[in-house]
Amino acid sequence: MAERSFSKEVQSLRNRDGEIFRGEGVLAVTKALLQSGVSYIGGYQGSPISHMMDVLNDAAEIRRELGVHFENAASEAAAAAMLAASIHYPLRGAVIWKSTVGTNVAADALANVASAGVRGGVLVIVGEDYGEGSSIMQERTHAFAAKSQMWLLDPRPDLPAIVAAVEHGFELSEATNTPVMLMLRIRACHVYGSFVAKDNRPGQYNAHHPLEQAVFDYNKVVLPPSSYQQEQLKITERWPRALRFISTNKLNQSLPGDYVDIGIIVQGGIYNALNRSLEILSLADALGNSKIPIYLLTVTYPLIPEEIRAFCAGKKAVLVIEEGQPNYIEQSIKADLHGTGIDTQIHGKNLLPTAGEYKTRILITGITRFLNGATPAGVSLATMESAQQQATREISDSQTALEFPVPARPPGFCIGCPERPLFSALKLVQQELGEFHVSGDIGCHLFSTLPPFNIGQHTVGYGLGLASSSGLAPNFAKPLISIMGDGGFWHNGLTSGVANAVFNGDNGVLLIVDNGYAAATGHQAIPSTDQARSGNPVQMTIEKAVRGVGAQWVRTIPSYDVKQMVTTLTEAISQSPPGLKIIISQGECQLARQRRVKQAHQEALDCGARALRVRLGIDPDICTGDRACVRLSGCPSLTVKDNPDPLADGPVAVIDNQCVGCGNCGVMAHQAGLCPSFFEATIINNPSWRERTISNVRQWVIGALQGSEPRTR
């Protein structure tokens, strides 16, 4: 059960020629693929492109009608390997994943496909995860495209532009026999808009009309001497064809403006932010009519020298707006203009931040600096300064509207998360046995590095928690503890982590967090997702897999059984023989579970049936204010309130209405030292006559006892 369903929205993928398609970016890209005659699609979920995988899954019926094969691959490498289908055959294919980490995982396959070249059009759609909203290290796709000589498209966040980029991407790929990368930032993935649709069309060959004749061409095999020839073909044939195609089809746009002695060159993906900045400075309108000429780069690699020279000629200064570093585009433009006689001053990172996301506030400052230095004819610098100051003042006012700094709100475990008790148990073990070095991993479990747990010294890659311990373990006095999620386990952790550790005889403890899904990316199914959740029979389990590669010491523990987890961890660390010890912490992701539970609860209420839910509470008259439950659990439903006892100091703990009744806070309080203030309440809607009778008796007895209390005193 994915985090979001597109079952209704995907019906718009059937829109015919001339009809207006309305929706968000991920749907528009899918529609563009179907209009382009794609034969196969593969991918791996990851922000900001996860929802496109959900769209493709929900559009299964439409795909089958067109004979389009879709594969939710085990990793980005597996998805990239699918592109081999287009090396010899006229099959259009697309693959999708999160960049840059996904591109790195797929690097081997991509490099080979780019070297061999393709006959059918190939589109590599990467979700560019850059900026303050990013979930990974700050890197860019540009370097990989340049390294492997793959053309890179960066369309502006506008549905017609995105759809056109997909269609032109396939055409460019086939015209140059080269894979093409299409980069989509998070705003492009989720921007809403409309465009005029075309008919969907099946691929030249597809599941309904398969290929029948195999092709062999040794020149396509990446071995010497073919590989040497392929490198020459990239430069002598594919590159010139790419330049001609991009220029002839006007994939990049030169937008006119009034102030002809200056100009701006910008990546397509941040054009909207640029236009908004110019609008605030009274240099453009909301429709994109700019007073400053703009060269809009839909293709950021390769650049077209003739177009750049034509744009810069006659201008005294041009500002290059390029997000991230190194400044590949700025450097290329400066190198291209060198020795041409064009003396235009090229500005970029000298006026804008070297790194970081270019938001409107930052662009306003950079453009104002540019205008002050260039002093273009007809521009009122005083007006620009006033507009900049006004914009800065408005931003400052909005930041101080609360009259106090907005508190930091880092991401954390959800209420009832089955990973919370695991790290609570680990924290208790460390209190008894001392601090351990814990190798973290990518996934929700990385939130363990935040308070109140502060567990996990490093993380170096998805599914690499155990592998990252192999260099330190022999040089550390205590056993190392490694973390791995079930998504990372199936991605590559089984081979790079478990099999590698068994093969090398490594010592240590591995905690595998089995919550049933690729939860951090939107609850996509993985090989160990059970039938009740995914609709498919389970043929693979994590325990069978690790035993299959030779692991001997394996324990599966329910996530919420903190006592058993503490005992098992202690045994693995201090009592077991040398070698790899694996503990599988098993408990379904609470977000996914609550979707089912709340829906069933509401359906029961709607039809007047008995409905039950469990909540925990804290008796304020008994709570001492020690708050061990908060320190060891950290659940967002746990907070504090004023102590009702006027003679007591400090607030008491309280559980708010977000509680889902997992019970971890109460269990942790008892593990840390018996706390009698916790109680469990079962809330019953539409109770049976028997339950009503029992409740009435209880209320009568309690009322009678309360009534007799004054007389007793």
Q: Which DSSP category does 302 fall into? A: S
Give the Cα separation of 581 and 240 in Å (integer): 57
pLDDT tens, position by position, 311-361 = 999 999 999 999 988 999 999 999 999 989 899 999 999 999 998 889 888
Can you give the pLDDT at residue 514? 93
Looking at residue 540, its amino acid is M
Nearest C-alpha neighbor of 624 from the set 586, 678, 588, 579: 678
Whether residue 486 contacts residue 528, with contact meaning beta carbons closer than 8 Å, is answered with: yes
Averages of pLDDT over runs of 10 residues in the chain (713 residues) are 79 95 95 97 90 92 96 92 96 94 93 96 92 75 93 95 97 97 91 95 94 90 90 94 97 94 95 93 91 96 96 95 93 93 94 90 91 83 74 66 68 88 91 91 89 88 90 87 93 93 93 89 83 61 94 94 93 87 92 86 89 86 80 83 81 86 73 72 89 91 76 49
Q: Is residue 562 domain-shared with residue 653, that is, in the same domain?
A: no
φ/ψ (deg, to 5) at 639: -145, -165
Whether residue 122 contacts residue 159, with contact meaning beta carbons closer than 8 Å, is answered with: no
Q: Is residue 587 domain-shared with residue 652, that is, in the same domain?
A: no
- Assess if residue 276 is contained within a domain: yes
DSSP of 341-366: S--PEEESTTTS-SSS---HHHHHHH
Q: Is residue 574 domain-shared with residue 620, that is, in the same domain?
A: no
Q: Is residue 460 domain-shared with residue 441, that is, in the same domain?
A: yes
Rg of the chain in Å (alpha carbons): 30
For 554, 569, 665, the CA distances from 430, given in Å and listed in that order, are 21, 10, 18
Q: Is residue 584 domain-shared with residue 464, that is, in the same domain?
A: yes
What is the SS3 assignment for 475?
helix
Give the Cα separation of 349 and 355 in Å (integer): 9
CATH number at residue 681: 3.30.70.20
Can you give the pLDDT at residue 261? 93
Q: Where are the beta strands (DSSP E) in 33-106?
A: 40-43, 69-72, 93-99
Q: Is residue 122 domain-shared with residue 242, that is, in the same domain?
A: yes
Q: Is residue 185 domain-shared with residue 112, that is, in the same domain?
A: yes
CATH number at residue 428: 3.40.50.970
Q: What contacts 604, CB < 8 A, 6 or more positions away?
A: 610, 611, 685, 686
Give the Cα separation of 491 and 560 in Å (integer): 25
Which residue carries 């495209």 as its tokens? 145
For 193, 367, 372, 385, 571, the CA distances from 389, given in Å and listed in that order, are 32, 13, 14, 6, 64
Can you give the pLDDT at residue 367? 93
- Assess if residue 209 is contained within a domain: no
* pTM for this predicted structure: 0.88
Give the Cα separation of 211 and 171 in Å (integer): 21
- Assess if residue 710 is contained within a domain: no
Give the Cα separation of 554 and 550 in Å (integer): 10
Backbone region of residue 619 per phi and psi (left: phi > 0; alpha: psi in -120 to 50; beta: other values): beta
Name the residue range of residue 558's domain.
Answer: 419-592
Q: Is residue 534 domain-shared with residue 586, that is, in the same domain?
A: yes
Cα angle: 175, vertex 177, 181; to 5 degrees: 90
Give burial (CB, 10 Å; 0-12/13-18/19+) of 450: middle
Q: Is residue 65 domain-shared with residue 190, that is, in the same domain?
A: yes
- Assess if residue 231 is contained within a domain: yes
Give the Cα separation of 537 and 615 in Å (integer): 33
Can you give the pLDDT at residue 410? 75
Q: Is residue 180 domain-shared with residue 235, that is, in the same domain?
A: yes
Whether residue 498 contacts residue 549, with contact meaning beta carbons closer than 8 Å, is answered with: yes
- Assess if residue 694 is contained within a domain: no
- Assess if residue 340 is contained within a domain: yes
Can you give the pLDDT at residue 649? 77
Can you give the pLDDT at residue 397? 64
Q: Is residue 669 domain-shared with residue 586, that is, in the same domain?
A: no
- Assess if residue 692 is contained within a domain: no
pLDDT tens, position by position, 321-332 = 999 889 999 999
Q: Is residue 276 domain-shared with residue 139, that is, in the same domain?
A: no
Total number of domains constituting the chain: 4
Looking at residue 43, its amino acid is G
Q: Are strands 299-301 and 151-153 parallel, antiparallel or unpaired?
A: antiparallel
Can you give the pLDDT at residue 399? 60
